């Protein structure tokens, strides 16, 4: 990215204020002036969500790829008109530092590779957005934040729901106590893990089963609605199929206590489908079902339906926000520190399940 | 009830087979040939649910009352055309043994009085239906069953949902594995306890806060849908307002493990509204929301809505079933033993919450 291009976008976005909504400046920003994003890892999420979202982003464009499969590189370069010099593999990835077309590296790899590639991207001088959960553990998450601070690059987590209208409304209703203060909040997420070979079931790659993968959504939904962090929690882990779930929990329930007195209860599971966020304040309530899936939420409340028009891809707003933050040199609401909070909670949940004891948290 | 009246109804109902549905024989059973029910305790539930339901029952009629308030006795006798000799108070209640107009005593008192009045009614030779939860603890429940066995009278628990079409469909879908075997099941029930003077908040009268009062619904919904009994459980109890909740839990979460491998998760709370039963089998699911309230359930599933026409009062089918069982000398599906199962589970939940340890159950 040339200095003049950055200055041009800076000028444009300065007038927009706050979170830039997708399409807001569509006609104003020329394609070659958008921030260039390189996707690291071309699996299902990159293929079906991120790449199409980037086509509709106002401030970002898909400018590069990193993949270990030469055939994929060729296919993607052709499909997305990516110059061959912007296609990297995991060995030559660090050379990306010399490529001015890449402003942002988006890490879409198995959890175990998040820390390494975030740190390598930061060391290459690129801003980084990393998929959730941020890393395998708190120690890795802290190292990632430190590397980005040292390199003076921005770090964000792929928390698309921080920018999703139904979730923003849940947060507004909860934090502004529109229906009164939330006293109890339930959130559960589960699906049937059909592929026993998935990296998500490999402890070394995925890091911890259902709660690692799905718990981060429930935790986020609950704490963002309450605008609070939990001070204590309990958890119960279950394994039904020990041949598939080795050293990780297939199902995890957890209960969190918040300073306001609100208590949450959650189920995360790889056995079967559930997708829900529900907050109740007394006589009144508000919630989403489905809540977390990438294809759209549906809201309801004691006062009637909560329905918002949403773009086909939630990642458009997520990417536009990150680009906007980079251009304005502001911390994103979905910065690395948010990912670290969730990792701390997940570690506490695992410890509570392993020990059967209540775990206290301090912030 | 005269012998000839009983014989007449016996003849009628013998042809009906299975559970008698309300209205089925409406035109055939004359009012004075129905089984006479005496309501013990004329609070909200008797006033707004049971009395109007009995007006529409096919096999029962409101024939007597037991109340400590003379003004209430007078009002009810007038309103429901009850002869004054069928109105008792708590002192002269045992004289009911000499009243042939009363076939069934329905105990609608605070939980702490269930055992005493069930046993007194049995000793008076009357069949008994007792509101839920059956008693304060397992010991009382066992004594109630024994007293009814000794007196050779039928005992049933006021489990209206055993006869409610949406709940019968949940049970069919679960037990027949219509959508596959249930792997995870959530059920929660809560409301805002507006009256701090309620007997439900008095440990001596209510017996145990939210889980005692509301947990029985969730337990029932879960175990009836699965057709199984839990073999282990964990629980977490919370008190937010210690001035009101003395020695009882304001909120209780609990998780149950079943022989099939299904796991449940529940919240019961006196803080705020929730009313839900949800079963998930893999890709598919089925559930009710609201689920347990007396004014009607609403069903949904991965295959579309589950909607049934329901009578205004769920207790009509409950009472017709109990009368039918009495007339045929068959055990009700909602017999005392069902209430005892739920008491055993509630006791285990309280022990799990008190100790923070998993409690195993054997049956």
Q: Is the domain of A37 the same as that of A145?
A: yes
From chain B, pick out residues whose CB is under 8 angstroms from the CB of A269: 183-184
Q: Is the domain of B272 the same as that of B157?
A: no
pLDDT at B7: 52
User: B79: cis peptide before it, omega within 30°?
Assistant: no
Residue with the two structure tokens 């994003």: A37
pLDDT at A12: 47
pLDDT at A307: 87
Q: Is the domain of A37 the same as that of A71?
A: yes
The count of other CB atoms within 10 Å of the CB of residue B278 is: 25
Q: Is the domain of A292 the same as that of A240?
A: yes
Alpha helices in chain B (DSSP H): 3-14, 44-45, 51-56, 70-80, 114-123, 138-151, 165-175, 203-206, 209-213, 215-226, 315-328, 336-355
Mean pLDDT calculated for residue range B198-214: 89
User: How near does any CA of chain A get to the CA of B131, in Å?
Assistant: 25
Work out the mean pLDDT of chain B and round it to a whole number: 92
Residues composing chain B: 363
Q: Which residues of chain A have pLDDT under 70?
A: 1-29
User: How near does any CA of chain A get to the CA of B213, in Å?
Assistant: 17
Q: Which of B251, B273, B282 is nearest residue A263 as measured by Cβ atoms?
A: B251
Q: Is the domain of A294 the same as that of A356?
A: yes
Inter-chain contacts counted by CB atoms under 8 A, chains A and B: 98
User: How near does any CA of chain A get to the CA of B258, in Å?
Assistant: 11
Q: pLDDT band at residue B208, thresholds of 50, 70 and 90?
A: confident
B323, pLDDT greater than 70:
yes
Contact B183 A261 (CB under 8 A): no
pLDDT at B350: 96
Give the residue from chain A lying closest to B256, CA to CA.
A236
Catalytic residue among B34, B132, B344, B350: B132
pLDDT at B14: 43
Burial state string for A49-85 with b = 16 or more CB within 10 A and e = fewer than 16: bbbebbebbbbbbbbbbbbeeeebbeebbeebebeee
- Cβ–Cβ < 8 Å for B342, B220: yes
Q: Which of A184, A190, A236 is nearest residue B274 as measured by Cβ atoms?
A: A184
User: What is the tens place of the pLDDT at every residue in A280-299?
Assistant: 999 999 999 999 998 889 99
Known catalytic membership, residue B217: yes
Q: pLDDT band at residue B21, thresholds of 50, 70 and 90?
A: very low
Burial state string for B126-160 with b = 16 or more CB within 10 A and e = fewer than 16: bbbbbbbbbbbbbebbbebbebbeebebbbbbbbb
Q: Is the domain of B147 the same as that of B77?
A: yes
Q: Is the domain of A297 the same as that of A322?
A: no
The alpha carbon torsion through A230, A181, B218, B287 (nearest 10 deg) reads -100
User: How near does any CA of chain A get to the CA of B219, in Å?
Assistant: 17
From chain A, pick out residues whose CB is under 8 angstroms from the CB of B265: 188, 253, 265, 267
Q: pLDDT band at residue B206, thresholds of 50, 70 and 90?
A: confident
Contact A184 B190 (CB under 8 A): yes
B39, pLDDT greater than 60:
yes
Q: CA quadruple A140, A145, A150, A153: dihedral positive or negative?
A: positive
Mean pLDDT calculated for residue range B310-320: 93
Provide the residue range defining the domain that includes A193.
165-310+343-360
**ipTM for the assembly:** 0.91
The phi-psi region of residue A177 (left if phi > 0; otherwise alpha if psi is between -120 and 50; otherwise beta) is left
Known catalytic membership, residue B78: no
The enclosing domain of A119 has a CATH number of: 3.40.50.720
Q: CA quadruple A108, A109, A112, A114: dihedral positive or negative?
A: negative
B17, pLDDT greater than 70:
no
Give the mutation candidate from A242, A272, A278 for the B interface (greatest B CB count, under 10 A): A272
CA distance A319 to A105: 12
The enclosing domain of A239 has a CATH number of: 3.30.360.10
Q: Is the domain of A193 the same as that of A107?
A: no
pLDDT at A7: 52
CA distance B363 to B280: 25
What percent of chain B stands above pLDDT 90? 82
CA distance A103 to A330: 16
CA distance B311 to A327: 63
B20, pLDDT greater than 90:
no
Picking from A50-59, A266-275, B66-75, B204-213, which range would have the lowest pLDDT averaged per residue?
Answer: B204-213
Give the residue from chain B lying closest to A272, CA to CA.
B282
Q: CA quadruple B11, B163, B233, A213: dihedral positive or negative?
A: positive
Q: Is the domain of A203 the same as that of A352?
A: yes
Residue with the two structure tokens 């076939």: B103
Q: Is the domain of A11 the same as that of A120?
A: yes
Q: How many domains does chain B have?
A: 2
Contact B186 A188 (CB under 8 A): yes
User: What is the tens place of the pLDDT at every residue in B249-294?
Assistant: 999 999 999 999 999 999 999 999 999 999 999 999 999 999 999 8
CA distance A226 to A216: 15
CA distance B185 to B199: 31
B27, pLDDT greater than 50:
no
Q: Is the domain of A41 the same as that of A177?
A: no
Residues forming beta bridges with residue B312, ordered by sequence position: none
CA distance A56 to A279: 33
Contact B280 A263 (CB under 8 A): no
Q: Is the domain of A356 the same as that of A267?
A: yes
Q: Which residues of B touch A (CB under 8 A)?
A: 183-184, 186, 188, 190, 192, 234, 236, 238, 240, 251, 253, 255, 257, 261, 263, 265, 267, 269, 271-274, 278, 280-285, 302, 356-358
Beginning with the edge strand found earlier in the chain, give each strand of the sheet holding B87-88 in spatial order: B87-88, B60-66, B35-40, B104-107, B127-130, B155-157
* DSSP-based three-state secondary structure for B123: helix
């Amino acid at each position: 990215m040339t200095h003049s291009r950055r200055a041009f976008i800076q000028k444009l976005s300065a007038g927009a204020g706050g979170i830039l909504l997708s399409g807001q400046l569509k006609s104003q920003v020329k394609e070659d002036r958008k921030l260039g994003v390189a996707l690291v890892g071309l699996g299902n999420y990159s293929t079906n969500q991120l790449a199409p979202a980037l086509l509709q982003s106002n401030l970002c464009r898909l400018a590069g790829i990193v993949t270990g499969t030469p055939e994929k590189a060729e296919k993607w370069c052709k499909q997305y008109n990516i110059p061959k010099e912007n296609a990297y593999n995991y060995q030559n990835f660090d050379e990306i530092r010399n490529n001015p077309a890449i402003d942002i590296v988006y890490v879409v790899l198995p959890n175990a590779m998040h820390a390494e590639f975030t740190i390598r991207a930061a060391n290459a001088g690129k801003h980084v957005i990393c998929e959730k959960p941020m890393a395998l553990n708190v120690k890795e998450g802290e190292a990632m934040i430190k590397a980005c601070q040292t390199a003076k690059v921005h770090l964000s987590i792929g928390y698309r729901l921080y920018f999703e209208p139904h979730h923003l409304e849940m947060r507004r209703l909860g934090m502004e106590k529109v229906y009164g203060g939330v006293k109890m909040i339930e959130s559960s997420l589960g699906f049937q893990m059909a592929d026993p070979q998935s990296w998500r079931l490999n402890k070394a790659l995925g890091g911890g089963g259902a709660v690692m993968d799905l718990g981060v959504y429930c935790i986020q939904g609950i704490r963002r609605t309450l605008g609070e962090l939990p001070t204590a929690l309990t958890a119960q882990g279950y394994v039904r199929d020990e041949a598939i779930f080795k050293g990780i929990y297939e199902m995890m329930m957890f209960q969190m206590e918040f300073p306001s007195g609100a208590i949450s209860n959650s189920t995360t599971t790889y056995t079967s489908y559930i997708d829900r966020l529900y907050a109740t304040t007394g006589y009144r309530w508000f919630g989403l079902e489905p809540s977390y899936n990438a294809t759209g939420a549906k809201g309801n409340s004691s006062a009637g339906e909560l329905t918002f028009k949403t773009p086909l891809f939630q990642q458009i707003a997520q990417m536009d926000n990150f680009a906007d933050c980079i251009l304005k040199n502001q911390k994103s609401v979905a910065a690395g520190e948010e990912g670290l909070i969730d990792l701390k909670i997940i570690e506490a949940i695992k410890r509570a399940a392993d020990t059967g004891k209540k775990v206290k948290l301090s912030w």
